[in-house]
Amino acid sequence: MIKGKFIDNLPKVYGIYTGGFLGFIILMAIAEQAGMSAKMIGIFFVAFTVLIYALIGYLSRTLQVDAYYVAGRQVPTVFNGMATAADWMSGASFVAMAGGIYFKGYGYMALLVGWTGGYVLVASLLAPYLRKFGCYTVPDFIGTRYGGNMARLSAVIVLTVASFTYVTAQINATGTIASVALDIPFNIAVYVGLASILMCSMLGGMRAVTWTQVAQYIVLIIAYLIPVFWISNKIGAGFFPHFMLADEVARIAELENQFGLGTIKNSAADLATVPKGLAGITKAHSDVNTTPWKFISLAVCMMAGTASLPHVMMRYFTTPSVKAARRSVGWSLFFIFLLYSSAPMLATLSKLSLMDPNLSTGIIGKSIADVQAIDWYQNWNQANLMFVSDFNGNGTLELNEFFMGGKAVVLATPEVAGLPYVISGLVAAGGMAAAMSTADGLVLAISNALSHDIYYKMINPKAETAKRLIVARVLLVIIGFAGATIAALEIQGILGSVIWAFDFAMSGLFFPLVLGVWWKRANAQGAVAGMLLGLISGSAYLIWVRNGGAGFWGVTQLTFGIVGSLVSLVSMIVVSLITKAPDSATQKMVDEVRVPSGKTVLGKQH
Amino acid sequence: MSKQAQHWEKTRNLLFVTLAIWFVFSIGIFFFATEMNASGIKPFGYPLTYWFTCQGSLGIFVILIFWFAGRQEKIDEEFGFTEREDD
């Protein structure tokens, strides 16, 4: 059935894979009708998909350096787009985003704009030039462009801080999903998640991660879109929700008024009885509910962070050409757009299903006792994701008496809307795919920087290929375990640490990367100052604000990257200008990076 | 001016145009979020600002990147800097 080279057969291979996955969903649906328990369906979905990824990881094993670091630079444009989309869309995007929109409305949607707008910066400022450079890792670019171990080391430090903050959140998410789907305690599930992540990346490095990420994208997008379309059709909102939910959005605004949103407030004593992590609807669904600066500053941080996060950037090192890298950014954003534009629709459908008394699923306005008797309410109440309480003692559920966890919007809505359980199993598999694919990219980004930039370039430049790859794999396992151990402590919520990661990356790397291509005069001293002072000032601001500091300019702990990156920019320019200009060899190197044709700056094997 | 300098000048101008469009739809319009939502313009029936945050800006970014890539390829072709296909 498959002849010739693997790369030439990609559409066929993934076509068969997608068909097989759809067949598996249908098989599970039949099994559900035949009486298979919900728990078994969940286990089958997660176990089956994870085993497939592990198999792909095993088949992609390699002993070559350029295959391990950059997938042999032969990943076609569209497939790299899918892999980047999976790499990008984390457990937070999949599980928490629709919930954030549901609860916080407009103020939260700055993340949607930021996490997509950043790709314009990636495409126009960085990706094609770094591809031309021919580096293996992001610090590899910094180290070679500016010269000197100090610049390389600084880049590795920033990369590690940002990516490690991010990866603990992802391992946490795999643990959460594995513990729900497989019904095991969280602190064990974290290591099950870790084992799945390592199986995908350890033997084949970037090559294995690329082909599992494509497979994971297919699973996660199917798992996200099916419920959105199904619910929309089921409640008669329109067969293509994205273009047809205007009436529903207007209806939610009407119901918000009717139920007294914003006028009826809960007392602090009442709120104290609500379990931690759950929230009620307090913000209007489609109104502008925040100041322009709050919205814009958050969006700016997410955009600059996108362009500085190494696990995304390194995906564009794997394309066959500079031209392909540029187009690949477009495809990445297209595949991301498919999910991001669906998240607000899911939030709308979820809210309407719960709120509208005209729908059979609506619970607001029903008697509290009736709501407490509903099956799905009991399930999700037990999972600590839903809660009702009769604050005013009238026996009827009011809008301000219903509380839900952010994750429930994605995880529970299919069940609330009366979809068969097979869809909930599918959603669990999708969430697992999203969290795993991002964790894989991040763990690989960190361990590659440590093995290539610290070990090979700084400690032992004479190391043979076999030794380099062993070091890379050992580091991968160590980073993974460190991440899982911290994830098991559950210090910070999933979304909070994700946003921090963007701010860290932006503080330390954005300007040193951009100016490396766009400003010839930038030199090593300037870059080191930019990276270190940016990271330090950003972190200091975060610590200050977290410990009750007042902050300035309205910069919060979610947007501290603004402070960090400004310090980085100023110090980089000042220090560059008061020290010697880069030598002519470096200037020539920058000229070469700016021309797409010709050989890469760094050799094919380095 | 050398061929390379001319190529870079055109590339830089394209960057400025791209970033200007990017600025408008990622930052500029959100200074007027309240006014836009209050305006009677309703794409697909959604309030205007809400639509931009759900789909509008996101979709424009996708189109913008493909447009940018196409223009940059034209510039590269003009100066003979296109990569060989066997690469």
Instruction: Indicate the residue type of A476.
Output: L
For residue B37, tell me if it sits in a domain: yes
Residue B74 maps to a domain: no
Written as one string, the DSSP assignment of A509-576 is HHHHHHHHHH-TT--HHHHHHHHHHHHHHHHHHHHHHHTT---STT--TTSTHHHHHHHHHHHHHHHH
pLDDT of residue A570: 96
As for how many domains chain B has, the answer is: 1
Nearest CA in chain B to A110: B53
pLDDT range class, residue B84, cuts 50, 70, 90 = low
Q: Quick check: is A400 in a domain?
A: no
Structural domain contains residue A386: no
Supply the Cα-derived Rg of chain A in whole angstroms: 25
Q: Does residue A410 fall inside a structural domain?
A: no
If chain A, 606 residues long, is cut into consecutive pieces of 10 residues, what is the mean pLDDT of each piece? 70 91 93 88 89 89 85 90 92 85 90 94 93 90 90 92 86 81 82 85 88 93 93 86 85 84 78 82 85 92 93 91 93 95 92 86 86 87 85 84 86 88 90 90 88 84 84 87 81 72 93 93 93 94 87 87 95 94 88 84 71
Supply the pLDDT for residue B86: 45
**Complex ipTM, two decimals?**
0.94
Q: Report whether A81 contacts A328 (CB < 8 A).
A: yes
User: Which of the four pLDDT bands, split at 50, 70 and 90, describes residue B85?
Assistant: low
User: What is the three-class DSSP state of A396?
Assistant: strand
B1 belongs to a structural domain: no
Helix (H, G, I), strand (E, B) or coil at A319: coil
Asked whether the predicted pLDDT for residue B87 surpasses 80, the reply is: no
Is the residue at B39 inside a domain? yes
Q: How open is the CA angle A171-A177-A178, to the nearest 5 degrees?
A: 85
In a domain, residue B33? The reply is yes
**Which is more confidently placed, A252 or B20?**
B20
A596 touches chain B (CB under 8 A): yes
Structural domains of chain A, count: 1
B7: closest chain A residue by CA: A595
A409: closest CA of chain B, how far (Å):
17
Domain membership of residue B34 (yes or no) is yes
Residues pairing with A402 in the sheet: A388
Q: Is B71 on the interface with A (CB under 8 A)?
A: no
pLDDT of residue A122: 94
pLDDT of residue A481: 86
* pTM given for the model: 0.93
pLDDT band at B70 (very low <50, low <70, confident <90, very high): very high
- pLDDT at position A605, please? 64
Scan residues 285-314 of A and list those with Cβ closer than 8 Å to B.
286-288, 292, 295-296, 299-300, 303
Question: Which residue in chain B has the smallest CA separation from A590?
Answer: B8
CA distance A292 to chain B (A): 5
Window 63-122 of A, Cβ < 8 Å to B: 106, 109-110, 112-114, 116-117, 119-121
> How far out from the chain centre does Cα B42 lie?
23
Instruction: Check if the beta carbon of residue A537 is closer than 8 Å to that of residue A507.
Output: yes
Provide the domain limits for residue B32. 10-46
Question: In chain B, positions 16-55, which contact chain A (CB-CB < 8 Å)?
Answer: 18-19, 22, 25-27, 30-34, 37, 42, 44-47, 49-50, 52-55
Contact A596 B44 (CB under 8 A): no
The CATH number of whichever domain residue A575 belongs to comes to 1.20.1730.10
Say how far residue A52 (Cα) sits from the centre of its chain.
Answer: 21
Residue with tokens 């990866």: A167
d(CA A163, CA A446): 7
Q: How far is A228 from chain B (nearest CA, A)?
A: 15
User: What is the model's pLDDT at position A3?
Assistant: 55
Structural domain range at position A115? 7-254+284-349+420-593
The answer to whether the CB atoms of A597 and B81 lie below 8 A apart is yes
